[in-house]
């Protein structure tokens, strides 16, 4: 299974948020480059970089991402506020292996379709963030009436082949995964599935592996030493 460390960037620092609340941050590295290089040294095969300020519409950390891109030797994906074809082009031009989009997939699927047409399914990943199975958008601040299973099938029909599912009720809490919810997502999604949101221990990763989930994004658990990344690479 592909275990992907997350480097979430807010105000130029590597942080983790509690349930996605930007006011409840824990700063792990003042310089996100140190975090990225640390996980690269630990053997990570890919990194998940998120511009939280862009996701929340409060600015951007493009200069930080540019520095990371110039320094990393492993593939990385970038999410957070990528809501236009131009923004996706800019991130990929920095050197990202793929872009991660969420809000635009829900609100402007025609833009997602153009991204897929220009970059290909291997370079565009859709992230469905949800409270359980109810999808939320705009930096998790806006609820929708959509369910992950239904929206996932729409994404598949558009040509998406890699899906990230995050349970925002648990993200950053170290509460452990809701594996029954993830079982439903797995049953509904025919492509490559990456899960996150509350991963707290090796037991959570083992649970994902048993469900046939191909990847996991983890943050606080590896930053706080609850999971040894080297065991999973």
Q: Check if 129 is active-site.
A: yes
Looking from the CA of 227 toward its CB, the CA atoms found within 13 Å total 28
Q: How many CB atoms lie within 10 A of CB 110?
A: 9
Burial class (CB in 10 A: 0-12, 13-18, 19+), 30: exposed
Cα 172 to Cα 26: distance, rounded to the nearest angstrom = 9
Residues counted in the chain: 233
Cα 213 to Cα 185: distance, rounded to the nearest angstrom = 10
Q: Check if 167 is active-site.
A: no
Phi and psi at residue 43, to the nearest 5°: 105, 10
Cα 181 to Cα 168: distance, rounded to the nearest angstrom = 12
Catalytic-labelled residue, pool 51, 53, 129, 204: 129
Cα 53 to Cα 82: distance, rounded to the nearest angstrom = 11
Question: What are the residue numbers of the active site?
Answer: 8, 129
């Amino acid at each position: 299974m592909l275990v992907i460390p997350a480097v979430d960037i807010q105000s130029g620092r590597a942080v983790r948020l509690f349930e996605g609340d930007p006011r409840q941050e824990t700063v792990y590295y003042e310089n996100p480059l140190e975090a990225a290089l640390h996980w690269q040294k630990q053997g990570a095969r890919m990194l998940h970089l998120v511009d939280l300020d862009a996701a929340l519409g409060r600015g951007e950390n493009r200069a930080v991402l540019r520095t990371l891109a110039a320094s990393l030797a492993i593939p990385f994906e970038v999410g957070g506020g990528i809501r236009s074809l131009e923004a996706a082009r800019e991130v990929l031009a920095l050197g990202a292996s793929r872009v991660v989009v969420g809000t635009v997939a829900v609100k402007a699927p025609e833009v997602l379709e153009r991204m897929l047409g220009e970059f290909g399914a291997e370079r565009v990943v859709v992230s469905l963030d949800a409270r359980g199975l109810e999808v939320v958008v705009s930096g998790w601040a806006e609820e929708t009436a959509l369910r992950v299973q239904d929206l996932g099938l729409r994404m598949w029909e558009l040509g998406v082949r890699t899906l990230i599912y995050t349970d925002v009720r648990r993200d950053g809490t170290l509460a452990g995964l809701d594996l029954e919810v993830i079982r439903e997502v797995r049953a509904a999604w025919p492509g490559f599935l990456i899960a996150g949101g509350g991963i707290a221990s090796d037991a959570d990763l083992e649970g994902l592996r048993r469900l046939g989930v191909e990847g996991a994004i983890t943050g606080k658990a590896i930053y706080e030493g609850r999971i040894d990344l080297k065991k999973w690479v």
